[in-house]
Each structure stands twice: as C-alpha cells, then as structure tokens.
C-alpha cells in the first residue's frame, strides 16, 4: 500500500479524528489469565494538558499505558489517539506518540549520542539531521559531557533523561511517561518535573503515571486514581483533596501518662477523634484547617503537657486510597503485569 492520508480511513469508519481530545478510551479492559489487570476504564485526555494516573504498584497503570501505546493488545473496549483507532491503526498511532517506560529503553551497547542518532535514523531523519537533533537533545538534557560514554556508566537519573530525550526526537504530540521519577533522587526528580512542564509549555500533551500524590498534585491538571484495575476517582487535584480531607497533626508525648489528657484536648479543639499510636505515647488527629495545629500545640503548652516531637502531615497515597476505596493501598512489589512474554 502506498502512503496515504489516514484521515480518510478514519472517516470511512464513520469517525473523524477529534481536534481536541488526545486520548479517548472507553471501557478499556485487559486480562492476564484470571487476573483482570485493567477493568473497564474510561479515559479522556484533552490536547495540551498533563493528565496523571495515580495508583499503587500493580494497580494496572502500566498495562493501561501499554495498551494505549500499541504495546499490548486491547482485550475489551476501544481507544483512540487523536482520533486514530489504537487497535486497527497502530502504525498511525505510533507516529503520534512518544513512550518513556518505567525501565530505561535505550541500548546498553551504544553511547548516549549513538542511541539518539539511531532512533532519529529509525524515524526517517537524514543522518546529518539526526546527529544535529541528538546533540540538541543532549544539551537540553544536560548530557553533553557524557554523550560519548557507554550507557552502562550512566547514573539512574542520566538514563531517565536520555530515555526521555529518545522519546522526543520527532517531537511527538502525545507523550506517555510511565512513573518518570520513580527511583530518582530529589534533585533529579525536580529537574524531571521542570522538563515535563517545559514540554507542555511547548505544546505537548502528557499522560503520566505515578505512585506519588505530591507528583500528581504538582504536575497534573487532572488526575485519575486507579486501584485494582478500576478507576475509583477522577478530577482536579483540588477536587480530589476535598474528598480526602486535609492534613493531620501527629504528636509524640514526653510522658506516655499525659497522652490521655492531650488526646482529650485535641479532640475538643478539632472535633475529630484522635488515633492513639500503638505504643500509647503519641497520637494523631485530623485537621479541618491548619490553624488548629497551632491551637492544639498552644493548649498542650498551657496545660503543661510536654511533647518531644510533632509533625503536620499531608494526606498520603494511603489516605487517598483509604478515603476513596475504604482499604489501604496494597503494595509493594514491582508492577509485574507490565512484563509480558
């Protein structure tokens, strides 16, 4: 077949590529044996946004991403990328997406520069232009110095950056990022966040998965929470947070004998039932607003109740899951459903 415009193909199926949605999935389902890895998920990602998929290990995030990226077959439902059917128009979809997986998908045998050149050549760039773009991306991702070193000598953060650079060679319209910061140290993590924000500022659409609430909060305009293959919630970070509640105050008493008196004071002030720690020497209480933390601490001081330690904690992913599903997130362990043979 000759290279023709696939738009017509789409139209002949009675569906024209949508101008505004980058991802449109309905009833997406995937089973591995008896295990329902992705269960009837609907997803709409608008062009130009960062959409976060939040969930613990094994929730089905990677499986869902791999289905959308044409790496896994779709067992049920349907998905469109910029209007192109993922199942029947995989080749078109692959021209519109960049995929950065959880594990660096660059060639260990090549240097950073060779990797980028190779991926450029594979995607139809002339050799010289492929070299030019490789050098540009190496500079952009702060890898110029290491460009001619074998990948085996790269640190984890450098690999991630090279991996992302390899996904950007053809400036894809939609970028899938599977847990882009898992395993990165804080400095590399904030660099990756900046890079992701830059990409969107330049016009890309991003679908990212993460295990971290703060990451989804910091980056994503909208978030879908996935648990056991199901979508349990969707909304803006602010909408989700109101469902979860706010932060909690954790206090460690100097003398465990004071705990009961302190708990009574805290309950009075916050209107919440404090949870006493298993050792009996501390407790935590949910706050409906941040000023309650100060009120509680002042009250303890006024009553001569000494504390050794106190923290105000943001809701964790566990709190999110508890609030949304009524059970704690079951982890840890690698997202094994991603590896297929």
96 is an interface residue for other proteins by CB under 8 A: yes
For other proteins, the closer of residues 115 and 247 by Cβ is: 115
Could you give the C-alpha distances from 167 to 23, 41, 104, 173, 189, in angstroms and in order?
A: 18, 26, 11, 11, 18
92: contact with other proteins by CB under 8 A:
yes
**Is 180 strand, coil or helix?**
coil
Q: CB 113 → other proteins: shortest distance, Å?
A: 12
Among 4-12, 37-45, 182-190, 266-274, which window interacts with other proteins (CB under 8 A)? Answer: 4-12
Rounded Cα gap, residues 246 and 203, in angstroms: 33
Nearer to other proteins (CB atom), residue 82 or residue 154: 82
Footprint on residues 172-201 left by other proteins (CB under 8 A): 172-174
User: How far apart, in Å, are the Cα atoms of 63 and each of 31, 73, 151, 201?
Assistant: 10, 10, 27, 28
Neighbours of 29 (CB within 10 A): 17
Greatest extent of the chain over all pairs of C-alpha atoms, in Å: 84
Give 158's Cβ-side CA count (13 Å radius).
Answer: 20
Residues of span 97-126 touching other proteins by CB under 8 A:
97, 99, 101, 103-110, 114, 118-119, 121-124
Our finding on whether 7 is near other proteins (CB under 8 A) is yes
**Among 91, 129, 243, 301, interactor with other proteins by CB under 8 A:** 91
User: What mask of x and - would describe binding to other proteins in positions 278 to 297, judged by CB under 8 A?
Assistant: --------------------
CA dihedral of 287, 288, 289, 290, whole degrees rounded to 10: 10
| Binding segment toward other proteins, per CB under 8 A, in 68-76, 183-191, 245-253, 260-268 | 68-76
- Among the listed residues 62, 191, 204, 292, the single contact to other proteins using CB under 8 A: 204
> For the CA atoms of the chain, what is the radius of gyration?
24
Please tell me the total number of residues recorded for the chain in this structure.
Answer: 341
Residues 217-256 that bind other proteins (CB under 8 A): none
Strands (E), 217-314: 222-227, 230-235, 248-253, 275-276, 282-286, 307-313
Residues forming contacts to other proteins in the complex (CB under 8 A) are 1-7, 9, 17, 47-48, 69-73, 82, 84, 91-92, 94-97, 99, 101, 103-110, 114, 118-119, 121-124, 150, 166, 171-174, 202-205, 340-341
């Amino acid at each position: 077949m000759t290279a023709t415009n696939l738009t017509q193909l789409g139209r002949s199926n009675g569906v024209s590529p949508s101008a505004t949605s980058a991802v449109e999935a309905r009833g997406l389902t995937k089973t591995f044996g008896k295990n329902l890895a992705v269960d009837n998920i609907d997803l709409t990602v608008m062009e130009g946004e960062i959409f976060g998929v939040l969930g613990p290990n094994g929730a089905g995030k990677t499986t869902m991403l791999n289905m959308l990226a044409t790496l896994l077959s779709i067992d049920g439902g349907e998905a469109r990328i910029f209007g192109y059917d993922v199942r029947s128009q995989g080749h078109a979809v692959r021209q519109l997406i960049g995929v950065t997986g959880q594990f660096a998908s660059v060639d260990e045998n090549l240097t950073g520069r060779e990797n980028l050149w190779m991926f450029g050549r594979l995607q139809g760039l002339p050799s010289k232009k492929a070299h030019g773009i490789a050098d540009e991306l190496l500079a952009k991702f702060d890898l110029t110095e290491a460009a001619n070193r074998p990948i085996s000598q790269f640190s984890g953060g450098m690999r991630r950056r090279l991996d992302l650079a390899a996904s950007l060679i053809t400036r894809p319209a939609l970028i899938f990022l599977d847990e882009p910061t898992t395993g990165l140290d804080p400095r590399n993590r904030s660099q990756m966040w900046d890079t992701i924000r830059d990409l969107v500022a330049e016009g890309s659409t991003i679908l990212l998965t993460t295990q971290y609430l703060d990451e989804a909060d910091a980056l994503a305009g909208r978030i879908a929470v996935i648990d056991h293959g199901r979508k349990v919630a969707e909304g803006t970070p602010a909408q989700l947070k109101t469902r979860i509640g706010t932060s909690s105050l954790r206090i460690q008493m100097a003398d465990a004998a004071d705990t009961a008196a302190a708990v009574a004071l805290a309950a009075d002030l916050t209107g919440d039932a404090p949870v006493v720690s298993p050792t009996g020497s501390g407790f935590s209480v949910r706050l409906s607003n941040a000023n309650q933390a100060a009120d509680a601490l002042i009250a303890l001081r006024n009553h001569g109740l000494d504390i050794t330690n106190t923290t105000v904690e943001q809701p964790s992913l566990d709190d999110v899951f508890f609030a949304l599903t009524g059970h704690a997130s079951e982890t840890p362990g690698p997202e094994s459903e991603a590896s297929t043979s």
